[in-house]
Structure 1
C-alpha cells in the first residue's frame, strides 16, 4: 500500500490540469484534482471559448450589408444581448459538464474546493481536510488585474464581459494587447460605441510592426476610436461632483489578489460601475462611458497557496519558477500553464501537461518545446503569426522580407475598403522561413497549416515550389517571388 493517498494531486481544473490528470490516470496512477471555481478554467469558462463565440456573433453585423452587395434582399437585424448571453451560458454549462465527464471517465477523483499546499506532499482543502500525494501539479492559471489607481473598482475586466446585464451603448477599453483589441472589435461589431486608450505608440506591442499597423488601421475603419499614447488620468461616477467624492480603490495586492478576483467571476457585474463613468485622459479629453474595461494585464494565481512557505520559488511577476521539465525548487511539486507565465496559451498548457506526464509517469524525460508556436489574435480581421517579427529577425541576421497587401475578392466585390496582409521573413543565410504573418479573415485557420511548414524548417523555395490554390487569399503566401526589402 502506498504511503500517499494519491500518486498525483492536481490543483486547478483548467485545460492543462485536466489533461495532465487524465493522461496520468491512464498510466494507472491514482489521481485527484481540486478546483474551487468552474471546471474548464479560463479558456473554457471566461476566455478563448466564450470570446470566440462573441467573435462569431459580432461578425454577422457586417454580413448583412455584404449579403445585399451579393444580391440578397436582407435587412439589418437587431442584436439581442440577453438571447446570446443565455445561449452562451447554456453552452458553457455543457462544456463544463463535458470536462467533468472526462475526468470521471478517466477515474480521476474531483474535489470542488480550493486547495493549498501544506508541505511537499500534502494539500489542504478549505474545510481543513488534508490529502497526501507523491507528486503535486500546480495548474491554477491566472487572472486579469486592474491598475492601481483611484476608483479602478468602477471598471470591469475581461472575465466580467460575458455576464453584463445589458449591452452597453458606450465602452472605454484601456489597454493595447490582444485581449483589449479583440474585445474592441467584438463590441464594435455588436453595435457598441467603442473607445480604446493605449499608453504605447502602437497597439499589440511585441508583434510585427507592419501587421499591427494594418490592424490598427482596420479597427479605425470599423469606427473604433483608437487613441495611442493615451491613458486615464482620472475616473469617477459621472454624477459625482468632485473626484474626492468617489471612494479610492485598494491595490490588487492589498485586496488579496487571486482569490478575491476569482471569487467575483461569473456574477452580475453591474455593481462594478453603478451608472455611467466619467473619464479624463492624458490627451485632455473628457468623456462619459457606460463601462470601462481594463485589459491591462494578468497575474498568476499564486497568492496564499503556501508555495513560498514550502520552498517553491516565486518570480518577480508572481509566477511559479520551473525548469525545462516544469519542476519547481521542491522536487515533488511541478507547475504548468499560465501560473508559470512562460507562454500563456491554452494549447501550450496542454502540451506542458503532456510533457509532465511523459517525464514523471512514463519515465521519458521530456522538456517543453516553446519554440515556434503558432498563435492567432481574433481581431477583425484576424492576425495569425508564427516565428520572429521582422524587427526581431533583422537584429539577429541578414534577412529578406516578402510581403503583399491587397483587397480580398469577397469584400472588394461588396465595396468594402478592408485589406489583408501576407508576410514572410526569410533568412538570407539558409533561406529558412523565420517568421510568417497573416492579417486576414480566418488567419487563425491559415497559420495553423503554415505553422507546420515553418516548424519543419521550410525554406522560401519550399513555399515557392508549392502550387497555389486559386482563387484564395492564402495563395499569395506561395506566389511572392521578389523581396520588397532586405535588412
Structure 2
C-alpha cells in the first residue's frame, strides 16, 4: 500500500481536472477531486455551453424574420428571457449530473469542498480534513477580471450574466475580446440596445485583421454601438437602479446592465502554492514544463490556471496527457500548433494557423486567396451581409498555413478544414478537391 491517502489529488473539477481524474483512475490510480463550486468548471457551468445555448436562442431573431421571405407566415414574436434562461440552466444541471456520473463510474472520490495545498504532498480541505497524495494536480481554471474603476461593483461578469432576472433594455459591454463580442451579438438579437466599450482601438486582437474588420462593419450595420479608446472614469448607480458609465473623454452612457468582459486571470488566490514552492509568472499563472509539471516535482497543473492556451479542448488534452504520462507509462506532450478557434459572434468567425501578418513575419513570401461573397440564404432573405474566407499560403512550398473565415456556420466548416491545415496540405490539394455544390464550404476549394 502507498504511504499516501491517494495516488492523485485533483483540485478543480472542470474540463481538465475531470479528464485527468477519469483517465488516471482508468490507469489504476486512487483518485480524489475537490471542487468548491460545481462539477464541470467554467465551460459547462458558466462558459462555453450555456453561452452557446444563448447563441442558438439569439439566432431565432433573424431566422424568424428571414422565414417570411421563404414563404412562412410568421407572426410578430415576443421573446421571454426567463424561459430561455431557465431552460439553459436546466441543461447545465443535467450536464453537471453527467460529469458527476463519469467520476462515480471511475471510482473517483468527489469532495465538494475548497482545497488548499499545504506542501508537496499535502492538501487541507475546508472542513479541516488533511489528506496526502503522491501527486497533486491543480486545475482551478481562471476567473473574470474586474477593472479597478470606482463603482465597478455595480457591474457583472460572465459568471453572473446567465442568471439575470430580466433581459436588459440597455447593456454596456466592456472589452474587445471573444466574450465581449459574443454577448454583444446575443443581447442585440434579444432586443437590447448594446454599447461596446474598449480601451483600445482593436477588437479581437490576434485574429485575422480582415475578418475582425468585417465583424466590426457588420456589427455597426446591425446597430451595435462602439466606443473605442475609451477610458472609464467611474460608474454611478441611480436611484431607479440604472447605471451611468462616465469616461475621461466623451459623453457618459446610461444602461441597465454593465457587463465586464475584460479578460480572465488564473484562479490561484489563496491556493497555498507558496507552501510547496510552486512558481507563478508575473500574471499569476502557474509555470509548467512540457509535461505540465510545476517547479515542485509532485505537483502538476493543466488548463487555464497555466500560462498556455486558454481553451477547453486544450485543457482536456493537457489533463489526458498528464494522466497518461504519470500513471499510464506513456509520456506525451500536447501539440499546441494549429489550434483552431472560433468566436460565436453574429455572424461567427473562425480561424486556424497563421494570420497574414504572422505568416509574412515568419515566412517572408506568402500568397493570399480570398472569397468575399453573399451567402445564398442571405440573398433570398434580403440581407446584404457578406461572408469572407481567407487562405494564407507559403509561397515557397504551396502549403496552406492559415485559414480564416467569417460567415454563417464558419466554426462548423473550419473544424474539418483545420485537419487539412494541420496535415500540411497544399493549395493544390484544395484545388484538386471537387466542390460540394451548392454550399458555403465549397468556396474553400474555389479560392482565387
- The question of a shared fold, defined as TM-score above 0.5 by the shorter chain, is answered with yes
Matched with 1:333 is: 299
User: Deviation digits for residues 381-414 of structure 1, max 9, x if unmatched?
Assistant: 1111101111111111210110111111001111
- Structure 1: gaps (5+ residues): 240-273, 482-487
Distance (Å, rounded) in 2 between the aligned partners of 1:238 and 1:458 = 58
Matched with 2:114 is: 114
Equivalences for residues 367-406 of structure 1 within 5 A: 367-397=333-363, 398-406=365-373
Distance (Å, rounded) in 2 between the aligned partners of 1:111 and 1:199 = 41
Distance (Å, rounded) in 2 between the aligned partners of 1:29 and 1:467 = 49
Query: 280-289 vs 294-303, which deviates more?
Result: 280-289
Are the aligned partners of 2:23 and 2:324 in contact in 1 as well (CA < 8 Å)? Answer: no
1:149 aligns with 2:149: yes
Q: CA deviation at 1:302?
A: 0.6
Are the aligned partners of 2:150 and 2:235 in contact in 1 as well (CA < 8 Å)? Answer: yes
1:318 aligns with 2:287: no
Are the aligned partners of 1:426 and 1:434 in contact in 2 as well (CA < 8 Å)? Answer: yes
Matched with 1:259 is: none
Query: 107-116 vs 438-447, which deviates more?
Result: 438-447
Query: 41-50 vs 398-407, which deviates more?
Result: 398-407
- Structure 2: gaps (5+ residues): none
1:296 aligns with 2:262: yes
Are the aligned partners of 1:137 and 1:335 in contact in 2 as well (CA < 8 Å)? Answer: yes
1:237 aligns with 2:237: yes
Q: CA deviation at 1:111?
A: 0.2
Aligned to 1:135, the other structure's residue is in SS state: strand
Matched with 1:200 is: 200
Aligned match of 1:358 in 317, 320, 324?
324
Query: 50-59 vs 71-80, which deviates more?
Result: 71-80
- TM-score w.r.t. length of structure 1: 0.90
Aligned match of 2:310 in 317, 336, 344?
344
Are the aligned partners of 2:114 and 2:126 in contact in 1 as well (CA < 8 Å)? Answer: yes
Equivalences for residues 405-416 of structure 1 within 5 A: 405-416=372-383
Matched with 1:57 is: 57
Q: CA deviation at 1:223?
A: 1.2
Are the aligned partners of 1:308 and 1:314 in contact in 2 as well (CA < 8 Å)? Answer: no
Matched with 1:433 is: 400
Q: CA deviation at 1:226?
A: 1.9
User: Deviation digits for residues 187-228 of structure 1, max 9, x if unmatched?
Assistant: 001111101111222211111100000011111122111222
Matched with 1:451 is: 418
Equivalences for residues 80-119 of structure 1 within 5 A: 80-119=80-119
1:26 aligns with 2:26: yes
Aligned to 1:162, the other structure's residue is in SS state: helix
Q: CA deviation at 1:238?
A: 2.9
Aligned to 1:158, the other structure's residue is in SS state: coil
Matched with 1:220 is: 220
Distance (Å, rounded) in 2 between the aligned partners of 1:73 and 1:283 = 48
Distance (Å, rounded) in 2 between the aligned partners of 1:283 and 1:204 = 23
1:6 aligns with 2:6: yes
Distance (Å, rounded) in 1 between the aligned partners of 2:271 and 2:253 = 41
Equivalences for residues 234-313 of structure 1 within 5 A: 234-239=234-239, 275-313=241-279
Matched with 2:66 is: 66
Query: 344-353 vs 228-237, which deviates more?
Result: 228-237
Distance (Å, rounded) in 2 between the aligned partners of 1:416 and 1:111 = 52
Distance (Å, rounded) in 1 between the aligned partners of 2:215 and 2:238 = 32
Are the aligned partners of 1:14 and 1:43 in contact in 2 as well (CA < 8 Å)? Answer: yes
Distance (Å, rounded) in 2 between the aligned partners of 1:116 and 1:423 = 47
Q: CA deviation at 1:150?
A: 0.8
Matched with 2:77 is: 77
Matched with 1:134 is: 134
Matched with 1:260 is: none
Aligned to 2:159, the other structure's residue is in SS state: helix
Distance (Å, rounded) in 2 between the aligned partners of 1:201 and 1:304 = 35
Distance (Å, rounded) in 2 between the aligned partners of 1:154 and 1:146 = 11
Distance (Å, rounded) in 1 between the aligned partners of 2:285 and 2:143 = 12
Q: CA deviation at 1:283?
A: 4.3
Are the aligned partners of 2:149 and 2:232 in contact in 1 as well (CA < 8 Å)? Answer: no
Q: CA deviation at 1:282?
A: 4.2
Distance (Å, rounded) in 2 between the aligned partners of 1:156 and 1:106 = 37
Distance (Å, rounded) in 2 between the aligned partners of 1:477 and 1:429 = 20
Query: 365-374 vs 345-354, which deviates more?
Result: 365-374
Distance (Å, rounded) in 2 between the aligned partners of 1:295 and 1:76 = 33
Are the aligned partners of 1:400 and 1:427 in contact in 2 as well (CA < 8 Å)? Answer: yes
